[in-house]
Amino acid sequence: MSLAQSPSKMRFLLYIGLIIAGCNAQQKQERRFPDDFIFGTATASYQIEGGWNADGKGENIWDRMTHTQPHVIKDYSNGDIAADSYNNYKRDVEMMRELGLDAYRFSLSWSRILPNGLSYKINEAGVTFYNNYINEMLKYNITPIVTLYHWDLPQKLQDLGGFINPLFPEWFEDYARVAYENFGDRVKHWITFNEPREICYEGYGWTTKAPLLNATGIGTYYCAKYLLLAHASAYKAYVNDFKATQNGECGITISVNWFGPLTDSADDEYAAELKRQAEWGLYANPIFSEDGSFPKELSEVVAKKSLEQGYKKSRMPELSDEEKKYIRGSSDFFGVNHYTGAYVSAEDNKGNYITPSLLADIDVGSYVPPEWLSSASTWLKLSPNSLYNSLTHLHNKYRNVKFYITENGWSTTPDSGLIDDDRVLYYRTALNTLLDAMEAGVDVKGYMAWSLMDNFEWMEGYKERFGLYHVNFEDPARTRTPRKSAFIYKQILKTRVIDPNYEPATLTMWIDEGH
């Protein structure tokens, strides 16, 4: 199939993907999520908490970047106040109750607990805040799922090199131990890192996330190595010293969007595999594969290009046999953040790369059919069956792995209002394909919708909204109001069934149902 022929095929695939929510409704309505399947929502500390310097909290890399380089954020905003969850955490939990959540995934702010990043100085006010948040959830039987790191590194540690410093695994393990010691009696689900690709490629190998290091060609790979070692250190600390008494589990969350070949050619299939390895295999393979190494084809490509560019050895560091053994198997589950997909080509739609980088190393093209439904985010399209393809691929590649969908969501514009039918369509489509994957044998234990509420959307500021709840950022109280998608999600959680015909009567349903 040529590139010129592809749109017709894409329209057909789109139709097949969306028909799940339409003509085949009765069949889909019969299917049901298990009673023990965990439904929740997800957020991140910097995006919702505010209180950026409250009660002894230290500065993190997003504080430093947004305060000193405000122009890098689309609307010149920051997370100084955000949704002000630091002062509104009880309302957050009330929203969880309104939705009927089984669980809530949130992250700890490292610098709120350890202001300088190092464990010699613990900020008791920060510990108290998270204790209050966790206890408020547990009061209503909502399970806390805690991410240790969601992109907000203490600035003091970044000043020392951050993820590139070989001491980073030690710093992270010390921080993890503080968290386990203070919260592990109640928290039974731990995630070490959220989205290594975004940390290492976007923050260290490029300029689309803090700290904007832009160490192209090198930063991504060294960050990956020390992040993996840090993850393994935190995991082993939990298993060796806490799991026997706390009886929890510890894993990692990796962004896994689907990348399939544009055509059936061997070249495009190889290009798609390179793209998958660069996006998520770089981090998943050492943990979940049998050999525990960086992905083979990606390693070969980087080594070859490094020599051609005059380097004496590969820009990708090696993992020693001891390090491979240390990292391999260091996760009780695979957390999957999934949003979209694209087609990959060996020849077409390639970038024009001047300096060495991860994308220059793989040197493949990407194609997104124009007819795919678009969100407010340029990168986020409704890609038919992408969640199913991602999960079944991972299931076949890494045996006996348990999965959680730790993020999945859709963005709208700030003025899009409360009737978010695109988001409703996205969620219903994704959840139907999740059921398809589970029926195909993939062991998926839970699903976290991104996000509970609107928040500071990183480099986009407040220009994109992912929340089931609308947040009024002009109101000092940061009033939260449910969107239509909140009612739809509530109904799915209540019935364990995706009813394509369900429509909430009004947006005052909460009052009608006695809330």
**Cα–Cα distance measured from residue 473 to residue 479, given in angstroms and rounded to the nearest whole number:** 8
Q: Tell whether the model's pLDDT for residue 477 goes beyond 70.
A: yes
Q: What is the pLDDT of residues 217-230, one digit of tens each?
A: 999 999 999 999 99
pLDDT band at residue 507 under the 50/70/90 scheme: low
For 33-55, what is the mean pLDDT?
98
CB 304 within 8 A of CB 360: no
pLDDT band at residue 8 under the 50/70/90 scheme: very low
Q: Tell whether the model's pLDDT for residue 350 goes beyond 80.
A: yes
Q: What is the pLDDT of residue 26?
A: 38
CB 252 within 8 A of CB 231: yes
Q: What is the pLDDT of residues 116-159, one digit of tens each?
A: 999 999 999 999 999 999 999 999 999 999 999 999 999 999 99
Q: Across the chain, what does the average pLDDT equal? A: 93
pLDDT band at residue 317 under the 50/70/90 scheme: very high
CA distances to 75, 117, 209, 453, 463 from 80, rounded to whole Å, are 14, 19, 17, 17, 16
Q: What is the pLDDT of residue 30?
A: 78
**Cα–Cα distance measured from residue 54 to residue 124, given in angstroms and rounded to the nearest whole number:** 12
Q: What is the dihedral of CA 349, 352, 355, 357, to 10 degrees?
A: -10
Q: Tell whether the model's pLDDT for residue 17 goes beyond 50.
A: no
For 250-279, what is the mean pLDDT?
98
Q: What is the pLDDT of residue 29?
A: 47
Query: 3-24+38-510, what's its fold?
Result: TIM Barrel (3.20.20)
**Cα–Cα distance measured from residue 179 to residue 301, given in angstroms and rounded to the nearest whole number:** 39
**Cα–Cα distance measured from residue 446 to residue 39, given in angstroms and rounded to the nearest whole number:** 6
Q: How many helices (H) and strands (E) does the chain have?
A: 21, 13
Q: What is the pLDDT of residue 508?
A: 55
Q: How far is CA 134 from the centre of its chain?
A: 21
Q: What is the pLDDT of residue 505?
A: 84
What is the percentage of the chain residues whose pLDDT exceeds 90?
Answer: 90
For 431-444, what is the mean pLDDT?
98
**Cα–Cα distance measured from residue 221 to residue 360, given in angstroms and rounded to the nearest whole number:** 13
**Cα–Cα distance measured from residue 50 to residue 461, given in angstroms and rounded to the nearest whole number:** 14
Token code pair at residue 451:
């996000």
Q: Are strands 403-407 and 444-450 parallel, antiparallel or unpaired?
A: parallel
Map 57-74 to HEC letters.
Answer: CCCEHHHHHHHHCHHHCC
Q: What is the pLDDT of residues 60-95, one digit of tens each?
A: 999 999 999 999 999 999 999 999 999 999 999 999
CB 237 within 8 A of CB 209: no
Q: Which residues on neighbouring strands pair with residue 482, listed in sequence order?
A: 469
Q: Tell whether the model's pLDDT for residue 295 goes beyond 90.
A: yes
Q: Tell whether the model's pLDDT for residue 407 goes beyond 90.
A: yes
Nearest to 334 by CA among 416, 400, 273: 400
Where are the strands (E) in 185-255, listed by range?
A: 189-194, 249-255
Phi, psi of 187 (to 5 degrees): -90, 125
Annotated domain spans of the chain: 3-24+38-510
Residue numbers annotated as active site: 195, 407
Q: Tell whether the model's pLDDT for residue 24 goes beyond 50.
A: no
Q: What is the pLDDT of residue 480?
A: 98
Would you tell me how many other CB atoms lie within 10 Å of the CB of residue 110?
A: 26
Q: Tell whether the model's pLDDT for residue 25 goes beyond 70.
A: no
The answer to whether the peptide bond before residue 369 is cis (omega within 30 degrees of 0) is no
Q: What is the pLDDT of residue 64?
A: 98
How many alpha carbons lie under 13 Å from residue 162 in its C-beta half-sphere? 25
Q: Tell whether the model's pLDDT for residue 13 goes beyond 70.
A: no
